[in-house]
Structures are given as structure tokens and as C-alpha cells.
Structure 1
Amino acid sequence: MKLEMLSRQGTTEWNEDALIINEPLQLFGVLDGATSLHPYRGPNNETGGYLASQIIKQYFESLAEEDVRDTNLKQLVIQANIRLRDKMVEAGIQLSDKTALWTSALALIRITDHYVDYAQVGDCMIAAVYKDDTIRTVSRDQVAHIDQQSKAIWEEAIGRGISKREELWELVKPVILGNKSKMNTMEGYSILSGEPELADFIEYGRINRIQLKSLLLVTDGLFPHTESGREPEDMIHQLTARIQSDSLTAYADWLFKLESEDKDCQRYPRFKISDDKTGISIHFE
């Protein structure tokens, strides 16, 4: 088995993404922390999103064989969520205020000789590639329908002639703030936030390894962008195919370059010039 991994900071102050690497358990994952809209800072000026992804990372990487015996990935994600809640309580976070919570999306897998277990929360994604080069999207982007609302406002404003990213951001910020109230509800999306309601919205399951050639786990910072006015393509298929033909590192380099040439986010509507980018590409030899 061959692994290629990366986690690169975007244009924000902290890399709020993280990798989960627990080789003894063959447990691998990616995390995408999100900063609370109430400006909390940790003892070293860390954002809530950074703290969330690091707390969850440390939990999964601390697990040993005896910790996972007779349990499944859903139960482990619930325990990670409890750990996150406990850390927020210690920091004095008001848990009843959704906009104050430290949050993170997650894609997690555990590999065995015959199958792969997975769990997913939010918009981190998992794809499988088979020996005939068939690409299978294992997970679902649970945040896409929320993002579409904000991106529609962004594109409409570009159409009205607004050309500065800062002005565009001010237009969508109230919508994004409102979306926080929908975390872990039937109207919204799943996210690790310390809320017990997450337990009802974790997606998890098992795929077998018959003819399985590789697996890809990514945060949304690696998603390819769609040009303004164009219908989006199957982005997971698109990025998986490109990484298969080249490499995870080369794909990330290409995407960073594309973003640097569109700093006001006009050609490719998006909320940050460059989001943090984290991925794991696993090839079975």
C-alpha cells in the first residue's frame, strides 16, 4: 500500500485542515475545521476551526487496538464529538450558541484485508477507483445545497458589477451566519460541533476491496472550481481522474496557481482566494 498525503494552508491565518494518520489501526482521515463567527482565540491565538480539527485528529491518532475492538467508525466519531464538546466546555464556549461552536467536517476510513469501513460528516469526500478505472463517489457532499444559496448571491452581485472580493464577502456573510443555525438539523448539514444531534446525521458504511485499486480522501479546498455562469460538472470524478493520471501534489499545485490568477474570485466564484487543501491518496499495490 502506497500513501500520498498533503495538507497545505490557504490564504487564511491558520491551516484549519488536518490529516488523521493512525497506521497501526490502518485508520486514515481528513478534517476541515471551520472558524466560529464569534471570534474565539486559543492560548496561542488559534482559531476555533484549528482547535476543532486538532482535537479530533489527536483523538483518532491516540486510539489503540483495544480502543476500537467491538466498535464501529460511527461510534468513534461520536466519541470524537464528545471530546470536542468537553474541550469547548473547558474553554468557556457557550454551547447553546451555534455561531460560537468550534466545528469540523470529516472523512474517515479504516482499511482491512477484505473491506474498508468509512464515516463522513459535512463536505469532506471519499472516492474509490477500481482496476478497470471506474470511479465511485463513496460519500455525499452534505453542505453543497447550503453553499449554492451563497454562491448564487455572489454570482448575482458579480453580474451587477461588484468586482472586489471583500464587497462580495460582505453580501454573503449574513447568509452564512444564518446557515450556522442549521447545523445538525434536517434543514441543514452534518458537522462535528460537540452537539449530540450529530449522532443522527453521521454517514457510515462499508465497501469491499474486490478489484479496488485506490482510495482518495479530500477536504473541499481541493474541489475543482466552476467558471461563473457554467453548470458544475461531477467535481469528485473530475479531481479523482486528474489525481490518478498525475498526483495529489501536482493537482494541488495546479489549483493553487489557478486561484492565484483570480484573486477577486470573479472567474471562479468562491468565498476564499485559496482554501486550505488536505488529501490522502492510497494506492493498493
Structure 2
Amino acid sequence: MRKRIHSIQQVNITSPTKRESEDAFIVHESAGIFGVLDGATPLTNFRDEDGHNGAYLAAQLFKRHFLNLSETAELSKEVVKANTKLQQEMLAYKVNVEEGYERWSTCVAVVKIKENELHYAQLGDSMIMISYEDGTSKVLTKDTVEGISERASRQREKDRKSGKKIPEETYYREPLNRLRYNRSMANRENGYTVANGMKYIEPYIQSGVVSLDNIRDVFIFSDGLFHPEHTLHDTYRRVREFGLISYINQVTEHYQTNDLRVDDRTAVWVTF
């Protein structure tokens, strides 16, 4: 018997600098599946016939896929299936998938509540956390995007030493050039993980199963909820203390006060 869910809260607030949210959330209660998707802001001008960019399309494709699953679905396998669909969709729109920065991509953080277990799968920097009855919390996933610019710089230096023709670092001081190179680090050693249609992503999926014994809630959230001065454990504690919307208002105010970019803010919070 599935552990009884007491409440489900979900929020998706669009960045004030964007025309529409590039995040999405999954609430599929009958299958016990919940998740957050964070589309990576594109580095090209592509728009489909309805005006949507690749980040929005990637996140929405994954959302539709997971909302159509049954409770017998295996999360990692479904991430791979949705990723294959994403590749097919990009090819249908004649996206140049040979260039990493032209691919549509999204971070993925999904869980499934099955019996008294929590199954999870993740790519990127959308995070999954749990808290226990004693008030402690645990991060189930690793943020693979953190530090990518530094790792990319080291990779370029390594490639130069091996004889590859790589522009000097002054070229990568231009944000667009740096970001485009970073996208070439997707799903490779010392890079970062993301769903972007590339083959063989399964080894990069972080996945696992934990018992729901003594767990009081599960929190899934995009990096728009990260506070630059607090740990993820502090973030989670503040969500439990002040409530989800109140915390989001706090972190948004901090970003705006300090002239930092406010991202899309998306979360799903399931309590037992």
C-alpha cells in the first residue's frame, strides 16, 4: 500500500525577464509520480510555430511523457525514452544537433512513490531532498551544473596541451562564447548532465531508492530556489518554517535587492 500523502504543493513562477516559464512541474498523483523540469535557456533564436523556444519545448515534452505513465513505470528508463523523443522532435524541426548549444535541453528531477519506497531519477541541477521526523534533511541528488565553467576552462587547457586548436581564454570572456562551449560539456566526463537528446545518457542519470520510513516530506525544486548565501539544507528548513510561497518571496527579494538575475522558480512539495 502506498504511503499516505497528506498534501501536495506545487508552484511555477516565471522569471520577470522571460516571456514564459522554461520550467515545468509534474504532479501525477494516481501513478505516484512527481517532478520538476528546468529547461536550459537557449543560445539560439529558434522559435516554433507557436513562438516557443527549445527550453520550453524540452521541459513540456518531458512533462507530457511523465503525465502519461502508469504506476509500474521505471523512472530511469522513462527518462531515456523521453530523451529519445526529444531527439526526434529536434530532428523534425531540423535543429543542428551536431552543435551542442543548438540542442534543446532540460534538467530533470522526478520521484515515484511506490509502496513504502521513494524512487528517484535526476539530470542537471534540479534537486531532490527529503526530511525526516527528527527534523534532519538529506540531499538525494548532486548538482552537476555547479562549477561547470571552471571545469570547462580546465578542459580547454588540457585540449590545447594535446595539440587541439582551441581559442585563447580571452575569447571565452564573452558570455555567449563561454556558454556555448559549456553546452559542449553535456553528458561527458568532467562535464554536467542534462536531457538534450544525446544517446547513451542512461549512465549519467542519478537514480536510487530510499525507504519512506520516518520520512515526513519530499521536496523537488529548480535552481531558481537556490539562495546564494544558504546551503540547500538551510533552504529546505526555511521552506518548512515559512512555507513555500513565503520562502520564494524571500529568495526573490534577495536576488532583486542584490541586482542578481531572478530565474524561473518551480517546486513540488509532497508531505506525508
TM surpasses 0.5: yes
1:129 corresponds to = 131
Distance 1:224 1:213 in 2: 23
1:21 to 23, 27, 36: 27
Distance 2:145 2:250 in 1: 25
Q: Is the 8 A contact 2:10 2:267 kept in 1?
A: yes
1:174 corresponds to = 177
Other structure's SS at 2:147 match: helix
| Gap runs ≥5 in structure 2 | 153-171
Q: Which amino acid aligns with 2:249?
A: D
What do residues 101-147 of structure 1 show as CA deviations (whole Å, max 9, x unaligned)? 00000110001231100000000101110000011111110111215
Q: Which amino acid aligns with 1:89?
A: L
Q: Is the 8 A contact 2:43 2:176 kept in 1?
A: no
Q: Is the 8 A contact 1:48 1:102 kept in 2?
A: yes
1:52 CA displacement? 0.5
| Gap runs ≥5 in structure 1 | 151-168, 227-232, 266-272
Other structure's SS at 2:190 match: coil
Distance 2:97 2:174 in 1: 27
1:64 corresponds to = 70
2:100 corresponds to = 98
Aligned pairs, number: 247
2:145 to 140, 143, 166: 143
1:37 CA displacement? 1.3
1:250 corresponds to = 246
Task: Give me the CA root mean square deviation.
Answer: 1.7
What do residues 196-215 of structure 1 show as CA deviations (whole Å, max 9, x unaligned)? 13122011010001100111
What do residues 4-41 of structure 1 show as CA deviations (whole Å, max 9, x unaligned)? 11000012222100001111101000000013312210
2:257 corresponds to = 261
Other structure's SS at 1:256 match: helix
Distance 1:21 1:28 in 2: 5
Distance 1:32 1:201 in 2: 17
2:41 to 27, 35, 55: 35
Q: Is the 8 A contact 1:219 1:279 kept in 2?
A: yes
- Judged with a 3 Å threshold, the aligned counterparts in structure 2 of structure 1 residues 20 and 147 are, in CA distance, closer, same or farther, namely farther
Identity %: 27
Distance 1:47 1:274 in 2: 19
Q: Is the 8 A contact 2:151 2:190 kept in 1?
A: no
Alignment of 1:50-61 (within 5 A): 50-61=56-67
Q: Is the 8 A contact 1:104 1:193 kept in 2?
A: yes
1:208 to 208, 211, 215: 211
- Judged with a 3 Å threshold, the aligned counterparts in structure 2 of structure 1 residues 73 and 148 are, in CA distance, closer, same or farther, namely same
